[in-house]
Structure 1
Amino acid sequence: MRRTGMGSVGGTGRAFAVALGVVLAVGGCTVQGTGPDGKGRAPVRIDVTSAPPEGSGKRDTPQGAKEIAGGPKRTPAGDRPPSAPPARTVAPVLWRPGDSGRDVRELQARLRQVEWLADGPTGAYDDPTERAVSGFQGKRGLPRTGRTDTVTWQRLLDMTREPGKWELYLMGGQPADPPDPRCLTGRVLCVSKTSRTLRWMVDGRTVSTMPVRFGSQYTPTREGVFHVYWKSRHHVSTLYDSPMPYAMFFSGGQAVHYSYDFAVRGYAGASHGCVNVRDEAAVAELYTQVRDGDKVVVYR
């Protein structure tokens, strides 16, 4: 039989078989070939999804592909499977809605410093706190989850300073100091100016505790041992024309009573010498328990 270069019938068949094998290999299918001795060759599976190491100089041409029409067959860039994006690392969450405690107070105090939160700190991760965190995150291109993760917290730390005790307990709620020894016997309203708390104690046992505030520098709350001498549920001050609900007078015109101003402004304000309570429900309950003659101890 006469041969013309590589163009014999047998050569053409082999070239077609090679080309078909390459096409199947690129598709990731199993290629069944024939060895030089005419015997069947084991199937070879080409995994086109595994790319060679970067910088190796190799292309993603399937192994065993031969040059056809002057060069190796290459997969067009547009037909290559897209590489998977790198997995995003999720920052651990430190605090979320429903949490409470001293750390949440610090979060709220720092959010107040950058004017994302108007109220508090309360120590409770409530709806306003969640909205403040979400707004802070969105402003800085972070995911608006409303939860405080490590990335959000670090950004807030970088923009704020360590809050003082006054800032942490702007609306009250600070831990009460140990009671004064004079509070350990009998029925006593035990008032600490240092921790700004009132303990209602009976025979040395604390029945309830609530945040309080006192008079200003010019109208200070008197310190010492006193006794409740008059109770007035709907009292209104004749001197300042201001309401004093649940008033329990212990020294002249000074009394323990509920304060609307304290409930709104916290420690940003001051009384005219009285012991103000901001929790109306708590002072209402206290009013029902305190009797005329019960002791009042005000100390630092």
Structure 2
Amino acid sequence: MKEKVARKRQRIQVFGLEEEHPCVWMKAGVINFKLCDNAYDCLTCAFDKAMSRRLEAGDGRLESWRKPYLAKLYGQKECRHMLSTSVPFRFCGNAYDCATCEFDQMQEDRVLTGEIGRPAVRNVAGFYLADQTYYHRRHTWARLEHGGLVRLGVDDFAMRLLGYFNQVRLPRLGAHVEQNRPAWSLRREDKIALLVSPMDGVVVARNHEAMEAPDRAKRDPYGNGWLLVIQPTHLKRDLQELYSGDAAQNWLLAETHRLESLVAPDTDLPLAATGGEMIEDIYGNVPHLSWDRLVEEFLRP
């Protein structure tokens, strides 16, 4: 119970937006205090929508954050991508109407299809855990990025557990994935593992390179081995069920101990290789543990 409460209180972390940034309603002086937790993507922000509804209902105590921003000189009208630090310098010339902005669309396309930055990783009992990342208990991950989108993938534990795979099957663009429900599969010869989505959302990008060269996902699971990008539909609710920071490290340690207890009774195989990394192919090196057993214990919802 304490762990769940701690997860609920964790601050939403956006990859590349590590410092605290004031919401535009606060920056405009309309409200006293509110931090942005959606990478300045007001189009998908629940708080912005709620405030807008109050304005439409005739709340005379409020004015839109856009009003004081539009009154600024051009050189003071920071673009949302400048506010979120995804670009160093850009001013808005489109009256903060991001939905019709060509630059905004260009930035969204870059996030979806371009090379991505890698978060720092740490070694936890032989497995790698990425910072600024949320983890589902069934070994998939979610990372919030600029523009309010969420990138999804499979963690290092699952990659080493399965060893290798020769096929990655992903849902189509526009498909809806659900938290705790199977969303994609990894195939190793005649063995298939269904993996769950860590969050609800609509698929807006797929990693075609990972589908064409599955080893890419295994070699770089937290970077260019990502699998999907989604537009989340229940962001804050879903994050309450995921691990991050110290909670993620404690969870992974517990998972490692569970794995060791399955391996230790019948084999002397050392799981950790030279240098403190776990062996690359646990399934292939522990004959008494079947594929179905490993999937059931660690990956299946």
> TM over 0.5: same fold?
no
Q: Which has the larger radius of gyration?
A: 1
The structure whose residues are more often helix, as a share, is: 2
Which is richer in strand?
1
**TM bucket normalised to smaller:** under 0.3
Higher relative contact order (CA 8 A, sep 6+): 2
